[in-house]
Amino acid sequence: MTETQQARAGDWVEVECVLLEPADRSTNLPAETAEKPLTMWVKGFAEGRAALGEPVTVETMTGRKVAGRLSAINPGYFHTFGEPIPELVHIGKDLRARLAAYRAAESVAQGASAGAPESGGA
Amino acid sequence: MATKFDAIMARRGEIMRRALGMDYGEFELSPIAFDYEAMMADHGYSLDDIVAIQTKAGVGHTPLLELKNFTDLVRSTCEPGRGARIFVKDEAANLAGAFKDRRASVSIHVAKEKGYEGVIAATSGNYGAAVASQAARACLKCIIVQECYDSHKVGQPEIVEKARVCEAYGAEVVQLTVGPELFFHMVELLDQTGYFAASLYSSFGVSGIETLGLEVSQEMRALTGADPTACVITHAGGGNTTGTARGLKRAGATGTKIVAASVDLSGLHMASDNDFNRKSFTTGHTGFGVPFATWPDRADVPRNAARPLRYMDRYLTVTQGEVFYVTEALVKLEGLERGPAGNTAMTAAVSLARELPREATIVVQETEYTGAGKHHWAQLNFARQMGVEVRAGDPRDNQPGTVIVIPERLEQIQASDFDIAHMRRSYVRNAVKAAPAGYVPTTDDIAFLAADTNSTPAAVEAMLAELAAKEA
| H-helix segments, B11-154 | 12-20, 36-41, 47-56, 68-75, 100-113, 126-137
Among chain B residues, the shortest Cα distance to A40 is held by: B176
- B193 interfaces chain A, CB cutoff of 8 Å: yes
pLDDT tens, residue by residue, B10-25: 888 889 999 999 899 9
pLDDT tens, residue by residue, B211-229: 999 999 999 999 999 999 9
Diameter of chain A measured on Cα atoms: 91
- A100 interfaces chain B, CB cutoff of 8 Å: no
* Residue A28 confidence (pLDDT): 86
Q: Do B377 and A82 touch (CB under 8 A)?
A: yes
The C-alpha of B174 sits at a distance from chain A's nearest C-alpha, in angstroms, of 5
Q: Residue A5: what are its φ and ψ, rounded to 5°?
A: -90, 5
Q: What is the 3-state secondary structure (H, E, C) of chain A?
A: CCHHHEECCCCEEEEEEEEECHHHCCCCCCHHHHCCCEEEEEEEEECCCEECCCEEEEECCCCCEEEEEEEEECCCCCCCCCCCCHHHHCHHHHHHHHHHHHHHHHHHHHHHHHHHHHCCCC
What are the pLDDT tens digits along chain B (472 aa)?
Answer: 567 777 888 888 889 999 999 899 999 999 999 999 999 999 999 999 999 999 999 999 999 999 999 999 999 999 999 999 999 999 999 999 999 999 999 999 999 999 999 999 999 999 999 999 999 999 999 999 999 999 999 999 999 999 999 999 999 999 999 999 999 999 999 999 999 999 999 999 999 999 999 999 999 999 999 999 999 999 999 999 999 999 999 999 999 999 999 999 999 999 999 999 999 999 999 999 999 999 999 888 899 999 999 999 999 999 999 999 999 999 999 999 999 999 999 999 999 999 999 999 999 999 999 999 999 999 999 999 999 999 999 999 999 999 999 999 999 999 999 999 999 999 999 999 999 999 999 999 999 999 999 999 999 999 999 998 988 7
- Report how far residue B204's alpha carbon sits from residue B111's, in angstroms, rounded to the nearest whole number: 10
Sequence-distant (≥ 6) Cβ neighbours of residue B335 within 8 angstroms: none
pLDDT tens, residue by residue, A25-78: 988 899 999 999 999 999 999 999 999 999 999 999 999 999 999 999 999 999
- Report how far residue B354's alpha carbon sits from residue B335's, in angstroms, rounded to the nearest whole number: 22
- Report how far residue B329's alpha carbon sits from residue B136's, in angstroms, rounded to the nearest whole number: 35
Sequence-distant (≥ 6) Cβ neighbours of residue B168 within 8 angstroms: none
* Interface predicted TM-score (ipTM) of this complex, two decimals: 0.94
- Sign of the torsion angle spanned by Cα atoms B110, A40, B286, B187: negative
* Residue A116 confidence (pLDDT): 52
- B141 interfaces chain A, CB cutoff of 8 Å: yes
